[in-house]
Amino acid sequence: MHLELSEDQEFFRDTARRFLESEMPIATSRQLFDDPDGFDRGWWRSAAELGWTAMLASEASGGGSLSGRPVADAAIVAEELGRLVAPGPFLPVNLVIAALSGAPGHEETAAALVAGEQLAAWAFGEPGNRWEPSGFATTAEPDGDGVVLSGTKAFVEGGGVADHLLVAARTGAGLTQVLVPRDAAGVTVRPSKSIDLGRRFAEIRFDGVRLPAGAVVGEVGGAAADIERLLQLALVLQCADVTGGLDRVFEFTLEYMGDRYAFGRPISSYQALKHRVADLLLMLESGKGCVDAAVRAVDDGDDDAAVEASVAKAYIGDKCLHVIQECMQFHGGISVTWEHDIHLYLRRATVSRALYGTPEQHRERICALLGF
């Protein structure tokens, strides 16, 4: 990112990078390919001890921001995770923590998530690539002193390992968020297939799940603003993750071009390839600028935060695959082998492009937000 980091933030970034390089290098991530969870829970608890779950949490839940700019701090970690295509439930857990922070009756759960003792997932999108809450079919209907949850959520990151599910649902003309124990009666979790080797997703059905009134996060029918805030957080952290991956791919591609010789010269010396590299660098730096603007806007709660977050998603979603595929061309045939790491970045970027809405959907969202 282009954010000007303080000394504390630089130390935080360097600590996160060293931790990932020593505890979760790409070679270790590859070994977890067949693991149902996709990550080691002991490793996640260690990550929580480093403050990876504290940034968006309230002090009452054991959290607190390093710099006073919690979204920027979280984006630092997201970028480092993207650089090593690292696994783990960083995004879903932090989204739920942000939702529970300050929500009456959920302090104990939030504290357990911050400590790394429990896991949670945000059940937002629905089958049919539906990411716009106005089109959601999942309902949370009041029933006596509780609510009844019905519907299906798809593309739930970390849904298979979560102890708690934060579900975005409709209640009449409004939106409601409900915290659901994964083992509640009527909840069915079905793991989903994904080309991303590091992250795990699930489709979750709610068949008349009865919950007490205390399961509601916020107000019944009044969660539209809270859901919008979580969506903005999801978009900026996802874009930071993708940008971190693109940055790393660009780095090792330049190194390879300097080492690979053709006709007695390194291929990086050929003018035609230099022009292509310059184009990629422009795309990469423009993407960083988009993430920078979105992080600042969401951190400050600006009126245009939703637009900035969707601009970042639309731009990076459009460019990420092109950048990686161009870098694959520079590598030649080795780039399409299982042993080379570049396909791991392509897989992750491909899934991220669609998760929380495609670039096309976010361009439509931008138009709607601007009144076009």
User: Model confidence over 92-106: pLDDT tens digits?
Assistant: 999 999 999 988 989
Which tens digit of pLDDT belongs to each residue from 325-337?
A: 999 999 999 999 9
- The answer to whether residue 206 scores a pLDDT higher than 90 is yes
Note the pTM of the prediction, 2 decimals. 0.95
Give the per-residue SS3 of the chain. Answer: CCCCCCHHHHHHHHHHHHHHHHHCCHHHHHHCCCCCCCCCHHHHHHHHHCCCCCCCCCHHHCCCCCCCCHHHHHHHHHHHHHHCCCCCCHHHHHHHHHHHCCCCCCHHHHHHHHCCCCCEEEECCECCCECCHHHCCCEEEEECCEEEEEEEEEEEECCCCCCEEEEEEEECCEEEEEEEECCCCCEEEEEECCCCCCCCEEEEEEEEEEEEHHHEECCCCECHHHHHHHHHHHHHHHHHHHHHHHHHHHHHHHHHHHHCEECCEEHHHCHHHHHHHHHHHHHHHHHHHHHHHHHHHHHHCCCCHHHHHHHHHHHHHHHHHHHHHHHHHHHHHHHHCCCCCHHHHHHHHHHHHHCCCCHHHHHHHHHHHCCC
pLDDT at 263: 92
Look up residue 155 and give its two tokens: 């593309």
Provide the pLDDT confidence category of residue 89 given band limits of 50, 70 and 90. very high
- Cα distance between residue 158 and residue 118, in whole Å: 12
Overall average pLDDT of the 196-217 stretch = 96
Q: Are strands 146-157 and 261-262 parallel, antiparallel or unpaired?
A: unpaired
Mean pLDDT for 72-81 is: 97
Q: What is the pLDDT of residue 80?
A: 97
Paired sense of beta strands 164-171 and 120-123, if any = parallel
Domain 7-118 fold: Butyryl-Coa Dehydrogenase, subunit A; domain 1 (1.10.540)
What does the pLDDT look like over 142-159, one tens digit per residue? 998 899 999 999 999 999
- 182-187 average pLDDT score: 96
Is 8's pLDDT higher than 90? no
Is residue 20 within 8 A of residue 77, CB to CB? The reply is no
Q: How confident is the model at residue 2 (pLDDT cuts 50, 70, 90)?
A: low
Dump pLDDT digits (tens) for 14-32. 999 999 999 999 999 999 9
Across the chain, what does the average pLDDT equal? Answer: 95
Of 4-8, 176-180, 226-230, which gets the smallest average pLDDT?
4-8
pLDDT at 34 over 80: yes
Q: Please give the structure tokens belonging to residue 302.
A: 């600006």
pLDDT for 4 beyond 80: no
Side-chain-side CA neighbours of 146 within 13 Å: the count stands at: 10
In the predicted structure, residue 70 carries a pLDDT above the cut 80: yes
| Residue the block writes with tokens 């090593």 | 84
Class of domain 224-369: mainly alpha
pLDDT band, residue 6 (cuts 50/70/90): confident
On the question of pLDDT at 52 being above 70, the answer is yes
Question: Does the pLDDT value for residue 1 go beyond 70?
Answer: no
The answer to whether residues 123 and 204 touch, using CB atoms and an 8 Å cutoff, is yes
- Report the CATH architecture of 121-217: Beta Barrel (2.40)
**pLDDT value at 317 more than 90:** yes
CA-CA distances (angstroms) from residue 89 to 36, 94, 120, 244? 13, 8, 8, 17
Q: Summarize pLDDT for 260-316 with one digit per residue, the tens.
A: 999 999 999 999 999 999 999 999 999 999 999 999 999 999 999 999 999 999 999
Q: Report residue 136 as tokens.
A: 């959601």
The domain spans of the chain are: 7-118, 121-217, 224-369
Average pLDDT over residues 223-244: 97
Specify the amino acid at residue 235: L
